[in-house]
Chain A
């Protein structure tokens, strides 16, 4: 059951992105940055939690979910360590993902070459 919910919520967020891509002049970069920032804002206000409750990975995998993670990390950091936590908290929460991206990115670049499109 939670697979179905994840599918619907995750798919739904992506559909919103697709509609914006197709119907507006927004480019993918605009949409990703806005989705991310909306995720941060909703996360900070506690409004993303119900979506996470319901959708699980469907809410955390799309990019607003990353924003939500960063916001929560910043709030916890601020509460625990004051101003220092305010700076470090968000970045700390996202650090695992960024490190993974750097690490795997480098390895893939070592092993693979880009292939021509046909």
Chain B
């Protein structure tokens, strides 16, 4: 049995790395939502002076990384590795941002689970002695996602009530082997779970089983109870997915109704912003984590958080071939203290 693995699939970090800096940038709509005071930078428009949405997304991610590194009083050369990904084909927002940043780069594709996938791998690199400082980043952009996955902006299609709104935003977190927290103490990577849903406008329902699988395995592997956390928060299950998770977790013997919510649910106001089932996209969990969650942790409101981003790993092509939508959820425990509760 490996030294730092417990149970089926959880990693217990014996020398937890610290989050020493973080930064979030969002578009105008997110900057108008319930969490607007938490974001570090709100853009006035979603092109930010660039010629295309893809180029804008690249710039947003690049700037988030630069600002996060700045915020730690470091320079880009001080960073050992960059782990980043996004929704675009060939993860071009991340790849082209990395071109500008010139940090040794691991490109990731976890769809909307990229924030916690990058935090998981980044934490392991640092705790394993392979790096002193890494940056974990991801981004998404409403218009670049619509172009690639759905319809042109001016097309008059009607959205269903289960449809979600891709967040325009980027988040970056700097992890270090030195620091005073918050710490990443446990990692529970997910398995791909596919409940057989083919409707790409109902992502919440597609991804909920993956979230449940990871949560259950996390609790079983660690022996924790939901009450050991001040906050359990998923990435972008939306209103529909959140409700499914609460119900089905209860069936499995875990009551998370009191301290569980979802980044997609929190980031928009469905009544005034017309976002139907809520926010989605890699940027959703990234900006909520790097904006809201970490800032509230610093204020002392949350001491222990289970942060779990969820991603749907389909493509339009394979969906058109009749395949359903498989998903994955990666969870990380963020703790103000460097103490293992176990």
A contact set with B: CB distance below 8 Å? 21, 25, 28, 114-118
B152–A114 touching, CB < 8 Å:
yes
A116 touches which of B45, B152, B199 (Cβ 8 Å): B45
Segment from B109-117, B153-161, B226-234, B248-256 that makes contact with A: B153-161
Closest residue of chain B to A115 (Cβ to Cβ) is: B153
Chain A residues with CB under 8 A of B46: 116
Number of A-B residue pairs at CB separation under 8 A: 19
Chain B residues with CB under 8 A of A114: 143, 152-154
A28-B154 contact in complex given A117-B142, A118-B29, C-beta closer than 8 Å: no
- Nearest CB of B to A33, in Å: 15
Chain B residues with CB under 8 A of A116: 45-46, 142-143, 153
Between A and B, 12 residue pairs with Cβ closer than 8 Å are: A21-B158, A25-B199, A114-B143, A114-B152, A115-B154, A116-B45, A116-B46, A116-B143, A116-B153, A117-B143, A117-B153, A118-B29
> Which A-B residue pairs are the 9 nearest by beta carbons?
A114-B153, A114-B154, A116-B46, A116-B143, A118-B29, A117-B153, A28-B157, A114-B152, A115-B153
In the complex, whether B128 has a CB less than 8 A from a CB of chain A is no
In the complex, whether B28 has a CB less than 8 A from a CB of chain A is yes
A118 to B153, CA, bound (A): 11
**Interface of chain B, helix or strand or loop or mixed?**
loop
A21 to B157, CA, bound (A): 11
Cβ contacts B153-179/A at 8 Å (1 or 0 each) = 110011000000000000000000000
Closest residue of chain B to A18 (Cβ to Cβ) is: B158
* Total interface residues in chain B, CB < 8 Å: 12
Chain B residues with CB under 8 A of A115: 153-154
- Nearest CB of B to A111, in Å: 13
B28–A118 touching, CB < 8 Å:
yes
- Nearest CB of B to A29, in Å: 10
Chain A residues with CB under 8 A of B143: 114, 116-117
Chain A residues with CB under 8 A of B157: 28
- Nearest CB of B to A22, in Å: 9
Closest residue of chain A to B199 (Cβ to Cβ) is: A25
Chain A residues with CB under 8 A of B29: 118
- Nearest CB of B to A101, in Å: 14
- Nearest CB of B to A7, in Å: 20
Cβ contacts B169-212/A at 8 Å (1 or 0 each) = 00000000000000000000000000000010000000000000
A91 to B98, CA, bound (A): 51
- Nearest CB of A to B182, in Å: 34
A25 to B162, CA, bound (A): 13
Chain B residues with CB under 8 A of A28: 157
Chain A residues with CB under 8 A of B199: 25
Cβ contacts B11-45/A at 8 Å (1 or 0 each) = 00000000000000000110000000000000001
- Nearest CB of A to B20, in Å: 34
Chain A residues with CB under 8 A of B153: 114-117
A28 to B157, CA, bound (A): 8
CB under 8 Å from chain A, chain B span 137-159: 142-143, 152-154, 157-158
- Nearest CB of A to B59, in Å: 16
